[in-house]
Structure 1
Amino acid sequence: MKTLITIITLLCLQFAIGQQNYNKGMSKAFELWKAQQTDEAANLFERIAGAEKENWIPFYYAAQIHIISTYNTKEGKEIESRLAKAQNLVNEAKTFSDNNAEVLVLEAMLNTAYVAYKPNVYGMKLSAKVEELYQQAKALEPNNPRAILYHAEWKMGSARFWGKDPKAFCPEVEKAILYFENAEEPKVPFYPHWGMKQVTRVQKICNQS
């Protein structure tokens, strides 16, 4: 009996130390990201992902950094390299968390980045996929504010492309704001909870005269 208690105690201690190291590493990665040291942050997220077992969250943030970074460069090779890497990271995240609305939203953002990069090449090829990914995410989590906001932004962009009024989707933006305001704090450490700061950018379309 004493041996069993000792084993359980050691396992609990090992878990606690592992969780502490994970929290410390993730916090450091976010600090680097906030300081605009994006590559350092992405690399640290990837190292954490490699050390963790079956945890999709570090893969998610590493992929997100690469996706967002493509909008700050005009170098085609760098964009393609980052998006390819982001896809690999998304695939890893999906391996550990299937049917995850947050990962589906991120994959939709990834494909949107391809369309933004070369609309004449990827527009027709990936538009249906982007729409499908957002629909899947919203089916899994109808109140997910990131799914609603970014889907609305995607539909606004499509409307502008086809000469239609993007403001038709402004009610979706308002709905996203409501869900952001009523969202509960995540119980899982570092679970995606971002997006409210991006509302202002999308709202600019709705405020145009």
Structure 2
Amino acid sequence: MKKYLLSFALAFVSLTAFAQTDYEKVMTEKVAKIETAKTAEEFQALANDFHRIAGKDENNWLPFYYAALANIQKGRVLMQQGKTQDLDFIAGQAEKYIGAASHVAPTDNAEIHLLSKMAYSLKMMVNPQQRYMTDGAKAAEELKKAEKLDPNNPRIALIKAEDIYFMPEQYGGSKVKGMEMFKDALNKFKSYTSKTALDPNWGKSEAEYFVSQAK
């Protein structure tokens, strides 16, 4: 009987290890595509993939986080194309995943607050003049929370650089200052280490792109 129990235990451990390895393989593949995706359709496909993964792993904050990020990146692509009519809906979808990620994350999380900032910024861009004091203020508050939790986070530095670089000068924006901030963000990427291989690690290529434009 002991032999049967031992065999069962070993088989269970092997199956668990295999499932974990398979999960990490799929997650690693999908996470890598966050950096290479370019179109709204590609980001939507990723959001769908992470949604399915989250449904099988509801106690892990990362699939929810990446589902939110994919939605936000989809919205940012559409915003760059001047298609702002769907940004409220897309930001709302992202906020659902942000809420889920926040609920299961082990601690108050700078990465999640940064995503929340980005979602509010998307909403603001539907009508910047009208929403600057509402969604814009909420975005700024979430950014402060993120920076307080993780002041050396390069993604926080990257988003701050974007804000200054693209903001009109009459509201405090500056291409010159923004470029210096992109350089600072890139330096932070070079020294920052994520907690695990699946933890957020996006943004470096964007910082490199902007820094390259200054040469």
TM-score, scaled to structure 2: 0.79
Number of residues paired by the alignment? 206
Contact persistence 2:91–2:119 (CA under 8 A): yes
Counterpart check, 1:162 vs 2:167: no
Q: Using CA pairs below 8 Å that are at least 6 residues apart, which structure has the higher relative contact order?
A: 2
Offset, 1:167: 3.4
Corresponding residue number in structure 1 for 2:104: 96
Contact persistence 2:44–2:74 (CA under 8 A): no
Corresponding residue number in structure 2 for 1:17: 18
CA RMSD of aligned residues (A): 3.0
Larger CA deviation: 86-95 vs 24-33: 24-33
Distance 1:32 1:165 in 2: 31
1:164–1:141 CA distance, 2 compared to 1 (3 A): closer
Corresponding residue number in structure 2 for 1:191: 199
Larger CA deviation: 112-121 vs 51-60: 112-121
What SS does the corresponding residue of 1:117 show, helix, strand or coil? coil
Q: In structure 1, what residue type is equivalent to 2:89?
A: S
1:30–1:81 CA distance, 2 compared to 1 (3 A): same
Larger CA deviation: 27-36 vs 100-109: 27-36
Provide Cα deviations, 1:13-72, integer angstroms capped at 9, x if missing partner.
Answer: 343122123123324434765465322221110110110141111111111111121233
Distance 1:177 1:22 in 2: 30
Distance 1:136 1:32 in 2: 28
Contact persistence 2:84–2:125 (CA under 8 A): no
Provide Cα deviations, 1:147-202, integer angstroms capped at 9, x if missing partner.
Answer: 12212322444563525645345543332221111122x34232111111121565
What SS does the corresponding residue of 1:124 show, helix, strand or coil? coil
Distance 1:64 1:101 in 2: 14
Identity of aligned residues (%): 26
Counterpart check, 1:113 vs 2:116: no
Q: In structure 1, what residue type is equivalent to 2:27?
A: M
Question: Of 62, 68, 72, which aligns to 2:73?
Answer: 68
Structure 1 residues without counterparts, runs of 5 or longer: none
Distance 1:75 1:180 in 2: 31
TM-score, scaled to structure 1: 0.81
